[in-house]
Amino acid sequence: MATIRRHIFIDRPAEDVWALVGRPELLHEWFPTTGTKLEGDKRWIYLASGITFEEDIVTLDHALRRFQYKIVNNSIITSHLGTVDVIDDPHGGCVVIYSTEMEPEVLGLMVGGAAGAGLQKLKQLMES
């Protein structure tokens, strides 16, 4: 089981960052995907390579500022849980933590890489 964690400090209050991260239909605005579709608790994300991930939204907790999702109905990914937390820091900014547990483990590295790029873009968007 791969366990991946990426994080970034953003010089904006957690509620401002959550205003984007907490809207799962807007993932493509900060994560390296080409499109997002949301229907109830289901989400589909579209990758530049042509791959589509079907996901179940597990948690969308606006009080805790936590989003969790699972990639489902995938012929290769047999187990997955992704978690995004947005947490206030003591200096008026926040830290965003993107965690992934998944099988096969090697794919976790690529999701982790995308998460790292996504967090960088999120910081850029929020601080610009």
Partner 1 sequence: MGRKILFITTDQQRFDSLGCNGGTVARTPTIDALAHSGIRYTRAQPQNVVCMPSRSTMLTGQHPSTHGVWMNGVPLPIDAPSIAEDLWRSGYRTALIGKAHFEPFLDPFLRFAENRLGRDERATEYTRDENGTEVPHRGFEHLALSTHGGAGPFHYARWLANNHPEAVQMYYQVLDGAEMQVNATGGGDTNAPQVKVNPIPRDWYHTTWVAERTKDWLASLESDADWFCWMSFPDPHHPWDPPQSELHRVNWRDLDLPAGFIEDRSELERVLENKPRHWKAWWEGKFYSNFEPPRRWVPSTLTADQTREVNAMAHIMNEMIDEAIASVLSKIDERGWGDDVDVIFTTDHGEFQGDFNLLFKGPYHVDSLMRLPLIWRPAPSAQIAPQVVDNPVGLVSLAATFADIAGLERPEYVEASRLPVSSGDANALGHEQTLTEWDSVMFGKIVSQRTILRDGWVCSVYGKGTMHDGTEGELYNLQNDPLQRENLFDAPAHKATRDDLIAALWASQPPRQLPLRECDAPV
CB nearer to partner 1: give 14 or 122: 122
Q: CB 15 → partner 1: shortest distance, Å? A: 28
Query: Residue 57: CB partners within 8 Å, gap ≥ 6?
Result: 24, 41, 42, 43, 67, 68, 69
Query: Residue 72: CB partners within 8 Å, gap ≥ 6?
Result: 54, 55, 56, 80
Out of 42, 59, 72, 104, the residue judged to bind partner 1 by CB under 8 A:
104
Sign of the C-alpha dihedral, residues 44, 49, 76, 78?
Answer: negative
Longest dimension (CA), the chain: 44
User: By CB under 8 A, which span of 13-21, 65-73, 83-91, 100-108 interacts with partner 1?
Assistant: 100-108
Which 19-78 residues touch partner 1, going by CB under 8 A? Answer: 32-33, 47-49, 51, 76
Query: Does 113 participate in binding partner 1 (rule CB under 8 A)?
Result: yes
Query: Does 109 participate in binding partner 1 (rule CB under 8 A)?
Result: yes
Helical residues (DSSP H) of 6-104, grouped into ranges: 14-21
Tell me which residues touch partner 1 (CB under 8 A).
Answer: 2-3, 6, 32-33, 47-49, 51, 76, 104-107, 109-110, 112-114, 116-117
